[in-house]
Amino acid sequence: MKNRWIALYVENRVGVLAKVSGLFSGKSYNLQSLTVGTTEHEDVSRMTISVQADDVTFEQIKKQLNSMVEVIKVMDLTDVPIHSKEILYAKIHGIDAAGKEEAFRIAQVFKIRVIDIGEDSVLLESALTERRNNELIALLKKTYRHIEVVRGGAVAIESISTSCR
DSSP 1-28: -EEEEEEEEEE--TTHHHHHHHHHHHTT
Q: Is residue 34 scored above 60 in pLDDT?
A: yes
**pTM for this predicted structure:** 0.81
Question: What are the residues facing 84 on neighbouring strands?
Answer: 156
Give me the pLDDT at residue 31, please: 86
Torsion of CA 108, 109, 111, 116, to 10 degrees: -40
pLDDT tens for residues 4-25? Answer: 999 999 999 999 999 998 888 8
Sign (positive/negative) of CA torsion 94, 96, 98, 101? positive
| Residue 149: C-alpha distances to residues 35, 87, 102, 124 (Å) | 18, 11, 18, 10
pLDDT tens for residues 54-100? Answer: 889 899 999 999 999 999 999 999 999 999 999 999 999 999 999 99
pLDDT tens for residues 149-164? Answer: 999 988 999 999 865 5
Sign (positive/negative) of CA torsion 73, 131, 124, 31? positive
Q: Is residue 27 scored above 80 in pLDDT?
A: no
User: Which strand (E) or helix (H) includes residue 71?
Assistant: strand 71-76
The amino acid occupying position 154 is A
pLDDT tens for residues 116-145? Answer: 999 999 999 999 999 999 999 999 999 999
Map residue 67 onto helix, strand or coil: coil
Sign (positive/negative) of CA torsion 56, 82, 40, 18? positive
Determine the Cα–Cα distance for residues 113 and 36; give it in Å rounded to an integer: 24
Backbone angles phi, psi at 111, to 5 degrees: 55, 50
1 band by pLDDT with thresholds 50, 70 and 90: confident
